[in-house]
Chain A
Amino acid sequence: MLKRTDYLTKNYGKPDGWKLAAYEAAGGYRSARKALGMSKDAVIDEAKKAHVRGRGGAGFDCGVKWSFMPKESTKPHYLVINADEGEPGTFKDRTIMEQNPHSLIEGCIIGCYAIGAHACYIYVRDELHLSKERLWGAIAEAKAKGHLGARPFGKDYAVEIYVHTGAGAYICGEETALLNSLEGRRGEPRLKPPFPAQYGAFGCPSTVNNVETIAIMPTVFEIGGDAFSKLSELHGINDGGCRLFGVSGHVKNPGIFEAAVGLTLRELIFDLGGGVLDDRAIIGVIPGGSSCPIHKPDEIVDVAGDPRFEPYNGKSVLDLPLGVDTFRGIGSMLGTACAIVLSDAADPVLAYHNVMRFYRHESCGQCTPCREGMGWIERILDKIVAGTGTIEELDQLSDIANSVMGNTICAFGEGAAQPALAFVRRYRKELEDYVHNGGKNQTGTLTT
């Protein structure tokens, strides 16, 4: 159900809306002050009540993740913010950093306190120069006001926040690659275990959180964890609060919209996104970044034997609330909740080719199935698009993707294999048309 909120976005687009004065005028920094007056366990408990599912794509509960940090340890602890935003179709974290950077800074103070860290690194992809500038500006403002530094709000709990920068590599968004990159190494993912909570940045216990996950924490402490969770239609299945939803591609009004969890793709596309460009029909929707499977609008939700799905069974996938477990339940993924819409002007085979070229380009190359698999898939699609592919090769696409699944160091493998499988399954007819007729019955373009 569409229920708009404006906790993160109320100052978006306002003159100087990203500055401390605007943030404090709207009640900013009261939550960090409050949290630093609570016990650490109470802070984690409050966060747990909010059921903030990780906004970086994997959907892990933030409060629970915080509770994994060791209570007693002699080593320093670190909070690391994942601001590498690079998942195709995803552009929400950038809006927070550019237009509401203090929400992230305040969230970092709360997060540091909860996990026993005194230092936080915000890992921003290099290209986001304005984001970095606004974050450094916010840090300076917060320090000058005494909200950050040796004694935030006069409390005896030092917090320092630093902006770190990458240098162009999608894989650095994967949390262990990001840690390697933060340490000054090649951004290659690490084998897990050990998990970051045991052995993270600089070999010390660390928590990696997405920008939005942390930026919403001040709201959680402002209105209370339970009240926050209950904003969501999916509160009952532990997917709480509100979040940023994005929509791009063939819609009239692409953008980022804040709403309660429970929003559906249909609402995102038609009510918020203004409907499909030129009022065309939809041929496919990717729910949250290109690592999620693409769906056709005529797909029907049918999950037997799970009471959570009773209200949705028999409905179109476009009417299923966008939640971590709702989408997982139908064998899909919510990812970053930034949807990409393809109208019938778009040729799905060309879209497939575009998506797989991205994954071939971005594989870090450590694992043979991923490195070679992506190369093979791209080469087969090159041939299919050129009209020289065979049915045999078309059949190999799923075999290759299946052999990547589960056989790699990091989740990039699945993130690339999922779309590879979803496109063949849903657009087999169009792919065959390329094999048999050189694609002459397809639009041959991606644009309207």
Chain B
Amino acid sequence: MAFALSAERENELDQILSRYPNKMAACIPVLHLCQDANEGWVSADVIAFVAGRLELSTAQVKGVVTFYTLFNEEKPGKHQVWVCRTLSCALRGSEDILRHCEKKLGVKQGETTRDGKVTLRTAECLASCGTAPMMQVDKKYYENLSMTEVDRILDRLLYDGDA
């Protein structure tokens, strides 16, 4: 079935459009809106929808989608975990955190747990270097991480389904 937005999200789309002098400028915010409404990924249907709505070619929209790391071209897990591995975090133990997550989730970075609950990723500096090591879970930052804290977070994702 072709992709469509709920009335509420349509409203949000109109609001986004009203902020810019042309439709193309809404491309990234509208892609975010649609990705959120589409289980976290940008399908061919979503691209067609956005292209139609913003009067762009699908090639243009696809070009944008492939450029930015936060647009998923495949469906991710229900939750996404990003472990920052850039220098300030690495100096504070992010490698250990990443290895711990891999072991606990039973996946390698970039992969999703078999039950589809969690996708584990690495991130480059998330502007949290003073509270390293850190990770982002969905839209939330977890900072000054200890292994116990990491365990608690992952347990909640795996068993309660909530961060």
Contact = CB atoms under 8 A, between A and B. Distances in A.
Interface of A: 76, 85-91, 93-94, 125-130, 162, 164-170, 181-188, 202, 246-250, 254-256, 286, 290, 338, 340, 342, 346, 350-351, 354-355, 358, 361-362, 446-447
4 closest Cβ pairs, A-B complex: A184-B27, A167-B68, A168-B70, A168-B69
A254 B130 contact: yes
B31 A167 contact: yes
A162 B86 CA distance: 30
Contacts of B69: 167-169
Given A185-B64, A340-B91, A358-B125, 12 more contacts: A88-B125, A90-B125, A91-B129, A93-B127, A129-B139, A162-B19, A168-B68, A184-B27, A186-B63, A186-B64, A246-B129, A290-B86
A171 to B, nearest CB: 9
Nearest to A164: B29
Contact of A94 (B32, B63, B96, B127): B127
B26 interface: yes
Contact of A167 (B28, B56, B90, B125): B28
Q: How large is the interface on B (under 10, 10 to 19, 20 to 34, 35 or more residues)?
A: 35 or more
A161 B69 CA distance: 26
B4 interface: no
12 contacts: A86-B127, A90-B129, A91-B128, A128-B127, A167-B68, A169-B69, A184-B56, A185-B24, A185-B27, A248-B129, A248-B132, A338-B129
A193 to B, nearest CB: 23
The listed residue with most B CB atoms (<10 A of its CB), out of A168, A182, A362, is: A168
Contacts of B67: 169, 186-188
Contacts, number: 146
Nearest to A286: B87
Interface string B99-130: 00000000000000000000000011111111
Interface in B18-38: 19, 21-22, 24-29, 31-32
Given A162-B19, A168-B70, A186-B64, A354 B130 contact: no
Contact of A340 (B22, B95, B129): B129
Contacts of A255: 130
B29 A165 contact: yes
Contacts of A182: 25
B3 interface: no
A358 B124 contact: yes
B88 interface: yes
The listed residue with most B CB atoms (<10 A of its CB), out of A125, A182, A354, is: A354
The listed residue with most B CB atoms (<10 A of its CB), out of A85, A89, A188, A286, is: A89
A361 B109 CA distance: 15
A250 B91 contact: yes
B59 to A, nearest CB: 12
A350 B132 CA distance: 18
A371 B89 CA distance: 25
Nearest to B91: A249
A7 to B, nearest CB: 20
Nearest to A249: B91
B78 interface: no
A184 B91 contact: no
The listed residue with most B CB atoms (<10 A of its CB), out of A167, A184, A250, A342, is: A184
Given A167-B32, A184-B24, A254-B130, A126 B125 contact: no
Contacts of B22: 202
B24 A170 contact: no
A358 B86 contact: yes
Contacts of A346: 91
A248 B130 contact: yes
Contact of B86 (A93, A202, A354): A354
B131 interface: yes
Nearest to B82: A127
Contacts of A76: 21
B75 interface: no
A181 B93 CA distance: 33
A361 B124 contact: yes
B5 to A, nearest CB: 18
B40 to A, nearest CB: 13
Contacts of A342: 91
Given A168-B68, A187-B68, A358-B86, A90 B28 contact: no
